[in-house]
């Protein structure tokens, strides 16, 4: 199965049943973001595939971004988006828009899609039950770009034990109640680490880690931490991919068994990546 040409149906491979048996009862943390979220048909298909994993007995936690939708609103308000080393710079104007879009729009849209598939999602942000304790990433009074200080997993464990699906927007607050926008990869990694998840899965708008960003066929399907260090030193992993990879490494060093980066624009890429040996994205292990 090519990583560039996917069937519109998922077919069980000889190994699928054994993989279902292996993962049933385990926890997968999924970060959902990228331009794939713009396509409503693809978004619906991603949620259906995650729903199948749930019905197969896998505990699902979804953390979502929505930067492309934040940018749309910023453009409507004539505010220029700013980034530094692949991280959004969030000022006092931007944070209100980010919270409105991520918590008020995208989160409820994803919850509604899970509802349509007869599941029991619970929409959250990092603020709820002090799920995420944040702190500023940059020292500036007008800085609302945050980082994760700690995760309070009690609510998540309660929800998962009762077969609810937490759907978490990447907004959190600090001890004083100040609101921060946090990179969704970072939150997903922190939650996966705290829950000792079997897998952290980053659903994005790239095929995975490529040796040549212009060539999808240069996908590197299997990597280790040593490989990652080499690719960074060669400049193959650079720019906005570096903070994403750092989140992957942090998770692996905190007992998450494997991390997958897959293309959410390809139909059923989640199922082919996780329930067959036919890798369609990049998998990183220790």
Annotated binding site for substrate: 66-67, 88, 181
- Binding site: which residues? 66-67, 88, 181
Query: What string of H, E and C letters represents the secondary structure of the chain?
Result: CCCCCCCCCCCCCCCHHHHHHHHCCCEEEEEECCHHHHCHHHHHHHHHHHHHHHHCCCEEEEEECCHHHHHHHHHHCCCCCCEECCEECCCHHHHHHHHHHHHHHHHHHHHHHHHHCCCCEEEEECCHHHCEEEEECCCCCCCCEEEEEEECCHHHHHHHHCCCEEEEECEEECCCCCEEEECHHHHHHHHHHHCCCCEEEEEECCCCCECCCCCHHHECCEEEHHHHHHHHHCCCCCCCHHHHHHHHHHHHCCCCCEEEEEECCCCCHHHHHHHCCCCCCEEEEC
């Amino acid at each position: 199965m090519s990583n560039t040409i996917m069937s519109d149906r998922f077919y069980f491979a000889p190994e699928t049943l054994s993989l279902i048996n292996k993962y049933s009862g385990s926890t997968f943390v999924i970060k959902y973001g990228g331009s794939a979220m713009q396509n409503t048909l693809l978004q619906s298909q991603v949620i259906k595939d995650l729903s199948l994993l749930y019905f197969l007995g896998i505990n699902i936690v979804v953390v979502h971004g929505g930067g492309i939708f934040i940018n749309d609103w910023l453009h409507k308000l004539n505010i220029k988006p700013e980034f530094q080393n692949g991280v959004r710079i969030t000022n006092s104007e931007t944070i209100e828009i980010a919270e409105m879009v991520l918590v008020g729009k995208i989160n409820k849209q994803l919850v509604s899609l899970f509802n349509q598939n007869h599941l029991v999602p619970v929409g959250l942000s990092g603020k709820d039950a002090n799920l995420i304790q944040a702190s500023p990433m940059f020292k500036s009074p007008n800085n609302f770009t945050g980082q994760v200080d700690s995760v309070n997993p009690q609510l998540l464990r309660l929800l998962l034990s009762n077969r609810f699906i937490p759907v978490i927007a990447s907004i959190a607050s600090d001890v004083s109640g100040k609101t921060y926008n946090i990179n969704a990869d970072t939150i997903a990694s922190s939650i996966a680490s705290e829950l000792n998840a079997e897998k952290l899965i980053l659903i994005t708008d790239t095929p995975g880690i490529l040796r040549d960003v212009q060539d999808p066929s240069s996908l590197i399907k299997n990597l280790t931490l040593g490989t990652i260090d080499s690719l960074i030193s060669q400049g193959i992993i650079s720019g906005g991919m570096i903070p994403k990879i750092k989140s992957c490494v942090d998770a692996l060093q905190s007992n998450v068994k494997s991390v997958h980066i897959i293309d959410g624009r390809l139909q059923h890429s989640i199922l082919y990546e996780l329930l067959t040996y036919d890798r369609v994205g990049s998998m990183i292990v220790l």
